[in-house]
């Protein structure tokens, strides 16, 4: 049974699964019967949720909350489970994303998290967290996909991503996965308020080799930064340091290809992956 290392208490994911099971048993329903009552979600999926092996989707939780008249308790537990899946060093910046008017991101070897497909994110977590359970990987993927909701809000978010060419060149598992990921990048670039640039190999060294930077501009005009490297991260709010990091981003932006040439480079890599997949 999975517990939080520090306190020995049940994790939010297990608490959510237990609550679903108790609500179901309180109605005298089998898992198959519950599946029929809440829109046909498979009984195996519901079983994994009850065991804490997988977090439910928001749609499933909303259906369960309504069916059991649970007054949003399950949705609250799901939010807690999502929050607990985020590393401590990243929680502040993730919580502030929903308040941001603009997000600027530089990544040196990976596609930015908010632009990743579910398949790409899943393979990334499996590779970077050896030994992690499938439930843990599922939790992390669910959180990453949920964060994309900021693109759907009524007031559009300004999003600017600079991606080192290495992220395009490095195949994640295989050509088919990368083809879908690069197609997703191109579609993301079609958003009126999104800009994607590539910093090419030809520019050589730059100020952020080996790291990733996120800059958030908040509704009150304030800014904060998040610097991340191998399994570590730091939230920066001190104005002087934020200005220094903003300068690093500006240098990377000056070295990056213009947007149209960046998208053409992405298309070139896409064709290479498609050709490799067809061979």
Secondary structure (H, E, C), 168-221? HHCCCCCHHHHHHHHHHHHHHHCCCCEEEEEECHHHCCCCCCCCEEEEEEECCC
> Bigger pLDDT: 53 or 89?
53
The answer to whether the CB of 65 falls within 8 A of the CB of 71 is: yes
CA quadruple 130, 134, 150, 101: dihedral, nearest 10:
-20
Closest CA to 87 of 50, 153, 132: 132
H helices present in 55-164, as ranges:
58-67, 73-85, 88-97, 118-128, 134-147
CATH classification for the domain delimited by 12-84, as one of 2.40.50.140, 1.10.260.40, 3.30.70.870, 3.40.1280.10: 1.10.260.40
Q: Where are the domains of the chain?
A: 12-84, 88-115+150-278
Taking only the tens place, the pLDDT of each residue in 210-244 is 789 999 999 888 999 998 876 677 888 899 999 99
CATH architecture of 88-115+150-278: 2-Layer Sandwich (3.30)
Angle at 153 between CA 120 and CA 114, to 5 degrees: 20
- Give dist(CA 214, CA 52) in Å, integer: 32
Tokens 């290479």 sit on residue: 272
Taking only the tens place, the pLDDT of each residue in 74-115 is 887 887 776 666 665 556 677 788 889 999 999 988 999 999
- Mean pLDDT computed over every residue of the chain: 86
pLDDT at 268: 97
- When pLDDT is averaged across residues 168-182 and rounded to a whole number, the result is 92
Asked whether the domain spanning 88-115+150-278 has the same topology as the one spanning 12-84, the reply is no
pLDDT at 89: 53
pLDDT at 4: 38
Q: pTM for the full model?
A: 0.72
The answer to whether the CB of 44 falls within 8 A of the CB of 28 is: no
Taking only the tens place, the pLDDT of each residue in 119-154 is 999 999 898 888 878 877 888 888 888 889 889 888
Whether the per-residue pLDDT at 2 is higher than 70: the answer is no
pLDDT level of residue 183 (50, 70, 90 thresholds): very high
């Amino acid at each position: 049974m999975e517990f939080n290392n520090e306190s020995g208490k049940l994790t939010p994911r297990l608490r959510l699964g237990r609550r679903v099971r108790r609500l179901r048993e309180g109605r005298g329903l089998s898992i198959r019967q519950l599946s029929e009552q809440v829109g046909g979600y498979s009984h195996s999926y519901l079983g994994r949720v009850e065991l804490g092996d997988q977090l439910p989707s928001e749609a499933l939780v909303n259906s369960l909350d309504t069916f059991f008249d649970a007054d949003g308790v399950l949705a609250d537990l799901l939010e807690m489970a999502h929050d607990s899946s985020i590393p401590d060093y990243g929680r502040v910046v993730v919580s502030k994303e929903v308040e941001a008017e603009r997000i600027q991101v530089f990544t040196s070897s990976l596609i930015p998290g908010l632009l990743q497909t579910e398949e790409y994110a899943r393979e990334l977590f499996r590779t970077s967290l050896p030994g992690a359970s499938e439930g843990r990987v599922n939790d992390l993927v669910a959180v990453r996909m949920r964060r994309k909701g900021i693109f759907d809000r009524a007031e559009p978010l300004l999003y600017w991503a600079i991606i080192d060419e290495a992220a395009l060149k490095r195949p994640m598992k295989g050509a088919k996965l990368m083809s879908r990921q690069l197609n997703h990048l191109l579609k993301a670039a079609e958003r009126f308020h999104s800009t994607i640039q590539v910093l090419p190999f030809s520019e050589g060294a730059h100020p952020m080799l080996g790291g990733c930077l996120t800059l958030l501009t908040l509704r009150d005009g304030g800014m904060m930064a998040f610097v991340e490297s191998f399994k570590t991260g730091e939230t920066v709010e001190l104005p002087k340091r934020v200005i220094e990091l903003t300068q690093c981003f500006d240098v990377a932006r000056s070295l990056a290809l213009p947007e149209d040439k960046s998208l053409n480079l992405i298309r070139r890599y896409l064709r290479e992956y498609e050709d490799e997949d067809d061979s």
